[in-house]
Amino acid sequence: MKGTRNLPPKVRRHLRLRRKVIGTAERPRLSVYRSLKHITAQIVNDAEGRTLLTVTSTAKDVLGMLGEDRTKLARSKLVGRRIGELAKEKGIEKVVFDRGGYLYHGRIKALADAAREAGLSF
């Protein structure tokens, strides 16, 4: 990674990860973005440069499923479950997980586990 010395550690981790994780038509990339309040998951076909699915914790269908538990962890689980359900409807069963430079812990792990429970394999 030439010229990454002055970048923040998260950006360096993400660049290092993106060199290895590439989404194809057979196995698209499940990309995760985490902000301080919300979380977003996208399924991307990098070969065509197309986003196939997007689910975010601000979407009305996800917010409607929340109920009493409105924690960030609960939102992450719902986003993971919803992206898994939508992917199955579109015929996507296998994906490559792109954690986006975030540590595989907490909300990222909850999203990944919920997506696996919904039927995605990675």
- pLDDT, residue 78, reads 96
Which residues of the chain are under the pLDDT cut of 70? 1-2
- pLDDT, residue 92, reads 96
80-83: Cβ within 8 A, 24+ apart: 80/41, 80/110, 80/111, 80/112, 80/113, 80/114, 80/115, 80/117, 80/118, 81/114, 81/115, 81/117, 81/118, 82/55, 82/118, 83/30, 83/41, 83/43, 83/53, 83/55, 83/111, 83/115, 83/118, 83/120
CB atoms within 10 A of CB 55: 25
- pLDDT, residue 1, reads 56
Fold classification of 9-117 is Nucleotidyltransferase; domain 5 (3.30.420)
- pLDDT, residue 40, reads 98
- pLDDT, residue 36, reads 96
- pLDDT, residue 67, reads 82
- pLDDT, residue 42, reads 97
- pLDDT, residue 61, reads 87
